[in-house]
Structure 1
Amino acid sequence: MSKEKGNLSIHSENIFPIIKKWLYSDHDIFIRELISNSCDAITKVKRLNSLGEADLDGNTDFKVKVILDETEKTLKFIDNGIGMTDEEVKKYINQIAFSGAEDFLKTYKDKGDVDQIIGHFGLGFYSAFMVADVVEINTFSYKQDAAAVKWRCDGGTEFEMENSDRSDRGTEITLYLGEQGKDFLSEYTIRSTIEKYCSFMPYPIYLEVANKEPEKDKDGNIVITEPEALNDVLPLYLKQPNSCTDEEYKDFYRKTFKDFQEPLFWIHLNMDYPFNLKGILYFPKLNTEFDTIEGRIKLYNSQVFVADNIKEVIPEFLLLLKGVIDCPDLPLNVSRSFLQNDGFTRKISDYITKKVADKLNSLFKSDREGFEKFWDDISPFVKYGLIKDNKFYEKVESIILYKTTEEKYVTVEEYLEKHTGKLDKQVYYVSDPVQQAQYIRMIKEYDIEAVILDHSIDTAFLSHIEMKKQDISFKRVDSNISELMKDIDETIDEETATKEKELLTKIFNKILKKEDSKIQLENLKSEDLAGMIILPEESRRMQEMMKQYSMGGFNPGMMPSEETLVLNKKHPLIQYILGQGDKETEMTDLIAQQVYDLAVLSHKPLSPEAMTSFIKRSNEIMKQMIAENQTM
């Protein structure tokens, strides 16, 4: 053909879809698009060969080669795929917005199964102009008697087109990188971008650097090494689950996520109908606060990386996991707002949720002991999931475990069954086993266990469970005094009891410098406990929720204190204070303050000022004890 010049034909009816598709925010995506097109070209010629419509003449070592030339400031993408004739260049390149991949699928859709054509992303070829001042195509079609064609464009609407001397089937695209593409003159950048977008593309991808100094051994001899593909053409998630070993799953996890801590377990997704979806979800250890962790669900379309953590496709709570999901049927060329309202997308999300729930149920039923071993690691994820997703809740609520203060794991039904006759649909829990050790010891005397709920999500989790199971309530061990712990005195004198409470209230108001101290006087069975702090469950949860969601700006002083000081009338210290009556003595004040601080210490840490006073007072009490002992 003679040299030809002309203008690119832009179909006015297609101009807006083009703008939407190719106004990329990430310029490095051109590498994904050009390599995708190269893979498509190979898939097409393989398909034609299988139909007997193409003679490959032995050239079946299919691969994609990327060549970086820092001196010439060029980047080449070379494939040995289907190639193009001059007419096809005019049709698919000069007429912008005409998708060659879509045209190919229409032609061959009824001729048996065909490998996925990545090109349904659109003609990503034009993304090259985001980084290149000039783009050149040199292509030779598989068709007999076709002439090789060279096409060149400087990014405007004009192009040049002529015959070339290329003799190998396939296409070579050369990008003459401009100022906006200078960052891609780095081998590291090109390599990492290929690994980011193309790790699982279906044909080997090789990177070469022109004029690069050869590697030499310690004697100065040139080391000849076989080039290694940057991608895995048959990733593990595409294989049948029953053909994969545990070590292969772990190795895939390490390579994909650069995480050398073994995952707890994994789920292999493998669905062909009613939609095509494959992938692997890994459960990593979540042994820190869940809200500071973000997993990484890598979404692919026909082995082409699309994005991380697309919440419109992946249920939000699953984003704490790590994994790979490949769904060729997903309509990725539309906006995220469309995905949010797309029924097909919701079906995918529901399927993934169901598979995760099924896996957890299977592990619980088949290996309860193993399930318990990693429950501490996965419980934040499970709790977050059942709060966020009602379908997930319905599938897993019966297998939620609670770790007891005796280091055992029970379901809520098992806990209530164990405490039948002692607790009326109440579950006692602790949020800090060390701080609340006094309360744990106290209820243990009555053969009552508490469960440990010490994660930041647990306040919301408990409220959610109570909403769903309205006959069950959770009470922290310091929230009330169980009737089991009281020593019922049938001969109690109500008038005397009232006077004693009034006296103690007056004394504690004085030492605490308050006018409205809440005092509760009880006969507790535990005679070695002088006093304890209780706080209503509802108000304490409200304070915790406000503190959690106010980004640290919550001041507990903004809410009135509802703490109640429970004093044990049977304890000698309380008997001593009552015995002094209205007499105001230094020792009475010291003991009262000490009883209060000891009660607070079992409930929460003392403030720095209170702790200083507590230590000083303790020393003073011991000094007085020594002095009294010496005078005896």
Structure 2
Amino acid sequence: MTAAADKQTHEFQTEVRQLLKLMIHSLYSNREIFLRELISNASDAADKLRFQSLQDEALLEGDGDLAIRISFDKEARTLTVADNGIGMSRDEVQDNLGTIARSGTRQFLEQLSGDQSKDARLIGQFGVGFYSAFIVADRVTVLTRKAGEEAAAGVRWESTGEGEYTIESEARERRGTEVILHLKEDADEFLDGYRLRRIIRTYSDHIDLPIRMAREAADEEGDTEDETVNKANALWMRPRNEIKDEEYVEFYKHVAHDFDEPLTWMHNKVEGNQSYASLLYIPKRAPFDLWDREGGHGVKLYVKRIFIMDDAEQLMPRYLRFVRGVIDSDDLPLNVSREILQNNRQIDRMRAASVKRILDTLEKMAADEAEKYAEFWGTFGRVLKEGPAEDFGNRERVAKLLRFASTRGEGDVEAVSLDDYIGRMKEGQEAIYYVTADSFAAARNSPHLEVFRKYDVEVLLLGDPVDEWWVSHLQEYDGKRLVSAAKGELDPAKLGGENAPDKAEQEKTETELKPLVDRLKAALGETVESVRVSSRLTDSPACLVVGEQEFAINMQRMLKAAGQPFPTGKPTLEINPDHAIIRSLGEAPTDSVDDWAHVLYEQALLVEGGQLEDPAAHVKRVNRLLQMSRS
């Protein structure tokens, strides 16, 4: 095949074109970050080669001196970032440089607002990687060959970043990748060796790989050979007292692909029967893929400073998937695999110790830095709520860190801890009460709260989809049961205080309303489990109640919509004996009681976030009752 026939022109994926346009403008004021991103990519390529060469030493091709080299040509106005890492095949070049193979790309682009400062943060969370080269270059050339392949398998990729790119074969004797940036007219600063050195030392000093450049001038012996610009040692292996905060921050930006500083970090070394080092970060802002529970986690595994794998899910539970960082073990075998990790006591101990350090840090932050913890909670609280259901051993520790809105709070601010709630419980109150709904507004306005407001009992307002899940696993905290205000029969006498209703009066009311209760149950038939007089309503005419061990009605709706099987039970309709509608039904015509029974049920269902099976029938019933009221 001739070179001309081999050369192919492709269009960028639509999302890439959009991202390039927005990125170049949003990140213009911080354009030097392109070098950090390209160096990070080169470092990753070397890490992958190190790992794969453990199984196949031939991939090193006789050259195990892995390094990154930065060079520039003032006359040609080019800047080159070269590595001798794993390299790419032709298919990999097209996949990696022509598309953004990442879930959620479209949703990410929809979040971009045109506000450069806000968009810069979003783009940083998404990770700009290779495409950042177009911030300073009007043309980019990539020369690459995958380790272990023939010289003829080399590939040349080139684009101006406007919408198209070309790919063609080009023989390369050396494995690895060269990224050649043809700089824009206003990018002269990146043709200055001293400027490039400052950028490298600022952003990439921590890279555990030598970054080399030609000397600016010959030394005393006349040597003009390359020199290593960065420290080239693993930051996490250095003593903490020798590391500046700025170095921790820059390493975080490298490992997390984030533009912002982290909220906090934990650096530990463990020696003895098991030796390892860990450097873990809690981000300030949510990683882009935070809500993807099945996606990658943020902790990298190293063994003896050799990268083993990204996103090692065995090192961190899913409810802490926002944590970023590295764990480097001296004790694991270099050929460790995901299968070995799944049943490895050393991994279990490292995981348990890491989780403990994170929870220790969060507890200290909650106690000593309330504003900082509120910032953390606002970003990651919904994920942390998964903890009580996932981590049985740390269930109470995680629960202690949770924050809620409540009927005592203002607005939807989640600032109440379970300890706060217990400290305010009324004398004689036996349980922690909560109500779940599909939003904060629905929770605050739930009819199930009416009796609690009457007796001034605080109720936690849970409006996240995850809430129903974790409370079903916690059930008790500090010796107090967690009880849903919307489940089971409610005994007002257990709410505390001395104003509980007289049981004899309740029984009298139930006796008086038994004929109506029977009529309503007959009208609703198998739709409900039963109908009973309510102890929880003061303003609403009716509400629906499920059994204590059943999912709330809103949760049932979400599971049904997701196609998830779940045990179903019929709700109970509770009626308010003091409401005008209920009182009038005792004298209502028989044919209207049937309509009233269904309207009361359907209205109660809507309040719970449920859906009507036949909205048209509901409208007809309401219209009939309206006509009766006018006649």
Separation of aligned partners in 2, 1:321 and 1:521: 50
> Cα gap change, 1:596/1:350 in structure 2, threshold over 3 Å: closer, same or farther?
closer
Report what 2:355 is aligned to: 353
Query: Aligned residue for 1:277?
Result: 277
8 A contact 1:416–1:423 mirrored in 2: no
Amino acid at match of 1:282: I
Q: Which of 522, 532, 552 is the aligned partner of 1:509?
A: 522
Q: How does 1:530-545 map to 2 (within 5 A)?
A: 530-540=541-551, 544=555
Which of 1 and 2 has greater Rg?
A: 1
Q: Relative to 1, partners in 2 of residues 1:453 and 1:445: Cα closer, same or farther, differing over 3 Å?
A: same
Of 324, 327, 330, the residue aligned with 2:326 is 324
Is 1:430 matched up with 2:444?
no
Deviations 1:423-474 (A, max 9, x none): 3134323233333413335522321222133444434422332277665233
Amino acid at match of 2:325: G
Structure 1's unaligned 5+ residue stretches are: 1-17, 40-62, 68-74, 79-123, 132-173, 189-204
Equivalent residue number for residue 182 of structure 1? 153
- Per the alignment, residue 553 of structure 1 pairs with 563
Instruction: Report the TM-score when normalising by structure 2.
Output: 0.58
Distance 1:354 1:313 in 2: 12
Name the aligned partner's letter for residue 257 of structure 1. A
With over 3 angstroms needed to count, the CA separation of the structure-2 counterparts of 1:256 and 1:600, relative to structure 1, is same
Aligned to 1:568: 576
TM-superposed CA distance for 1:607, in Å, is: 1.8
> Could you tell me which amino acid in structure 1 is paired with residue 601 of structure 2?
Y
2:531 aligned with 1:519, yes or no? Answer: yes
Q: How does 1:75-224 map to 2 (within 5 A)?
A: 178=149, 182=153, 217=185, 224=191
Mean CA deviation greater in 307-316 or 393-402:
393-402
**Secondary structure in structure 1 of the residue aligned to 2:65:** helix
Matched-pair contact (CA < 8 Å) for 1:66–1:206: no
SS at match of 2:313: coil
- Is the contact between residue 68 and residue 82 of structure 2 (CA under 8 Å) also seen in structure 1? no
Deviations, residues 544-587 of structure 1 (Å, cap 9, x unaligned): 58975x9933467x7341x111112222211111124xx4244x
Match of 2:114 in 1: none
What is the distance in 2 between the residues matched to 1:439 and 1:455?
Answer: 18
The CA deviation at 1:361 is 1.9
1:451 aligns with 2:478: no
| 2:551 counterpart letter in structure 1 | R
In the superposition, the TM-score normalised over structure 1's length comes to 0.58
Number of equivalenced pairs: 455
Identical columns (%): 19
Which of the numbers 395, 414, 419 marks the counterpart of 2:420?
A: 414
CA displacement at 1:394 relative to structure 2: 6.2
Instruction: Look up the equivalent residue of 1:370 and give its one-letter code.
Output: K
Partner of 2:482: 473
- C-alpha distance after superposition, 1:226-251 (max 9, x if no partner): 47779534465455556666665554
Offset of residue 477 of structure 1: 3.5
Structure 1 residues 353 and 504: CA distance shift in structure 2, 3 A:
closer
Aligned partner of residue 595 in structure 1, secondary structure: helix
Partner of 1:143: none
- 1:403 is the counterpart of 2:405: yes
Match of 1:490 among 483, 500, 504: 504
Q: Secondary structure at the match of 2:420?
A: helix
Counterparts of 2:525 and 2:388, CA distance in 1 = 46
Change (3 A) 1:252 1:358: same
Q: Partner of 2:551: helix, strand, or coil?
A: helix
| 1:609 paired residue number | 614
**Cα distance, 1:292 vs structure 2:** 5.9
2:488, 2:546 within 8 Å by CA — same for their partners in 1? yes
User: Does the CA-based 8 Å contact 1:279-1:325 persist in structure 2?
Assistant: yes
Q: Distance in 2 between matches of 1:175 and 1:317?
A: 37
Give the letter aligned to residue 37 of structure 1: G
Say whether residues 1:22 and 2:55 are aligned partners.
yes
1:277, distance to aligned residue in structure 2 (A): 0.8
Tell me the distance in 1 between the aligned counterparts of 2:354 and 2:517.
61
**CA contact 1:505–1:517 (8 Å) conserved in 2:** no
Aligned to 1:72: none
Q: Which amino acid aligns with 1:440?
A: L
Q: How many angstroms does 1:66 deviate by?
A: 9.4
Per-residue CA deviations over 1:104-148 (Å, capped at 9, x if unaligned) read xxxxxxxxxxxxxxxxxxxx9xx99x99xxxxxxxxxxxxxxxxx
**Which range moves more in the overlay, 253-262 or 409-418?**
253-262
Say yes or no: does 1:371 pair with 2:382.
no
Distance 2:189 2:475 in 1: 71
The structure-2 alpha-carbon separation of the partners of 1:325 and 1:187, relative to structure 1 and needing over 3 Å to count, comes to: farther
What is the root-mean-square deviation of aligned Cα atoms in Å?
Answer: 4.9
TM-aligned CA deviation for residue 359 of structure 1: 0.8
Secondary structure of 1:350's counterpart equals helix
Amino acid at match of 2:417: T
Distance 1:76 1:408 in 2: 49
Given that residues 426 and 457 in structure 2 are in contact (C-alpha distance below 8 angstroms), is that contact kept between their aligned partners in structure 1?
Answer: no
